[in-house]
Amino acid sequence: SIDPIPYTLSSKGGKPSWVEDFPIIPGYYVGVGVSQRAGRFAASIIDADDRAMEEIIRQISVSQFTDRRDIEVESVGTAFAQNRREISEAVVLGFYVLHRWISPDGSTYYSLAVCPRDKNTRPQ
């Protein structure tokens, strides 16, 4: 069974408010996933759902790595290259998609998802 999630859907001119104003739902991690239209309708929805899940997992556990390489060329100057990577891993039980929305032109898909902030989530 699913406990009631304390969230009321509101919209502005047909567009859900959560598309622009990231909601805060007490007791839950919240993720909003955005995807561009793919070849198939179902693939677009699944991609938006996956991105919402990724956003939730980033809130639970994230490791960041940065590499920097300095390059010095005589008589020319110096430059550097910097790379940043994030790795997120978590076990998530109870991931729920509360709402989905598609832009009026059909090019962008959105998913609003939540996961309880309790013992059902833990870093990997």
Q: Are 18 and 32 in contact (CB under 8 A)?
A: yes
108 — pLDDT class (breaks 50, 70, 90): very high
Instruction: Assign 63 a pLDDT band (cuts: 50, 70, 90).
Output: low
For residues 66 and 84, give the distance between their C-alpha atoms in angstroms, rounded to a whole number: 4
Mean pLDDT of the 43-59 span = 92
pLDDT of 27 over the 80 cut: yes
Host H or E run for residue 71: strand 63-73
Quote the pLDDT of residue 47: 96
Residue 40 CB partners (closer than 8 Å, separation 6+): none
Band (pLDDT 50/70/90 cuts) for residue 4 is confident
The secondary structure of residue 4, as a DSSP letter, is P
pLDDT of residue 95: 83
Q: Looking at residue 60, what DSSP letter applies?
A: H
How far apart CA 109 and CA 38 sit, in angstroms, is: 10
Per-residue model confidence (pLDDT) at position 91: 72
Q: With a cut of 60, say whether residue 13 has pLDDT above it.
A: yes
| pLDDT (0 to 100) of residue 81 | 80
Task: Please give the average per-residue pLDDT across 13-35, as a whole number.
Answer: 91
Sign of the Cα pseudo-torsion (11, 14, 18, 20, in order): negative
CA nearest to 123, candidates 92, 94, 86, 98: 92
